Amino acid sequence: MPNTASEARVRAARLSAHGLQPRLDSIEGAVRRLGAVQAQDYAAARWVLGARVPGSVAADVDRALEHDRTIVRSWPMRGTLHVLPTESLRPILAITGPRMLQQAAARHRQLELDHETYAVARAIAERELSGGVHLSRDALQSRWEAAGIRTGGQRGYHLIWWLANDGVLCCGPVDGRGQAFALLDEWAPVRVTDRDDERTLAELFTVYARGHGPVTLADFAWWTGLTLAHARTGLAAAGDAVTPYDAERWIAADAPSQTGGSRSSSRARSAFALAAFDEYFLGYRDRTAVCDPADARRIVPGGNGVFQPILVSSGRVVGTWHRGRSRATTSVSLEFFDATAADAAPFAAAFRAWARFHGLELTTIDLA
């Protein structure tokens, strides 16, 4: 075990861990490999998964969420929407929910959201959604407004978020405008009979190491929105399920071997067109192994939390891309960090797969 693995070795290991090389067999399998996928941008989250499952289409993600319900969309970590395995949601919320609500207490006071208001909003939501009813955000907020609960100025959003963190609501059916809300107990009635936070942290650390490894304790704490103490507990409880990769990082014990230069090198040669908010870049506190810090600022312009779609070559993030604005054609524009090395040709297959996934006909791939 080296004191510090080379960045090239880390990138090769992560391509494998992420299900990018080799890729995965199903949308559900991709979610289970990654553990959770940030999904406030649902269209982007679809391609995070589709990029890892050859031959898949966007409707496959909708089907897994809406019909199979093996995956679910809610707010389990970092206060933002994720897609994750359905059976994982309640155990994770048992740990993260109280912490996120505590962190939001000051904002709730600013919004004049107290426990009495929440209790009334919850009772209305449970009544209106009972029996398999699904309501859009606007429809649910209109029910609250009719009962005298103001929803402007983000009050409605925070009430929905609060209910989700308490395990009352989750995102339900997919429609053209997004997802409606459903009662979690009706949408995904998976009960947690014996709460065991240490076991949950062990499983969460293991799945994170399996789908993102090699990872550090700080990476895990950032990804979950928890503390380094939680990370240490998860690592210790994981036992033999994880193993050291180098002096600071861990991988899952069942991760593919990364010994042998030719095997690692062959895995890192492909070019990928990945979504905004893709876990390959987003899912770490320290992203320097896959992207120069100077270039990372171009992926999150202004540091505003809005991540751009990325180009990955040999495991390194080398640029960003975006879809053309014309409705008549489907074009993409590529912007490389190093203009002297700009070459769209290696990414052609990746963009054809992206277009097929979305049911589009790709017309041109341009350099910005």
pLDDT value of residue 2: 57
Section 48-76 average pLDDT: 97
How far, in whole angstroms, is CA 218 from its chain's centroid? Answer: 18
For residue 303, the model assigns a pLDDT of: 80
Per-residue pLDDT at 275:
98
Confidence class for position 264, pLDDT limits 50, 70, 90:
very low
Task: Assess whether the previous peptide bond of 214 is cis (omega < 30° from 0).
Answer: yes
Query: What average pLDDT is seen over the chain?
Result: 93
Please say whether the beta carbons of 9 and 258 come within 8 A: yes
Asked which of 174-188, 211-225, 332-346 is least confident by mean pLDDT, the reply is 174-188
The region of weakest confidence among 164-173, 214-223, 261-270 is 261-270
Kindly report whether the global pTM for this prediction surpasses the value 0.85: yes
Report pLDDT for 1.
Answer: 55
pLDDT per residue over 243-261, tens digit each? 999 999 999 999 876 544 4
| Cβ 139 vs Cβ 124: under 8 Å | no
Q: What's the CA gap between 47 and 204, in Å, rounded?
A: 23
pLDDT at 265 over 60: no
Quick one: which of 173, 170, 139, 172 has its CA closest to 156?
A: 139
Q: How confident is the model at residue 335 (pLDDT cuts 50, 70, 90)?
A: very high
pLDDT digits (tens, 9 = 90+) for 119-145: 999 999 999 999 999 999 999 999 999
Residue 189 one-letter amino acid: P
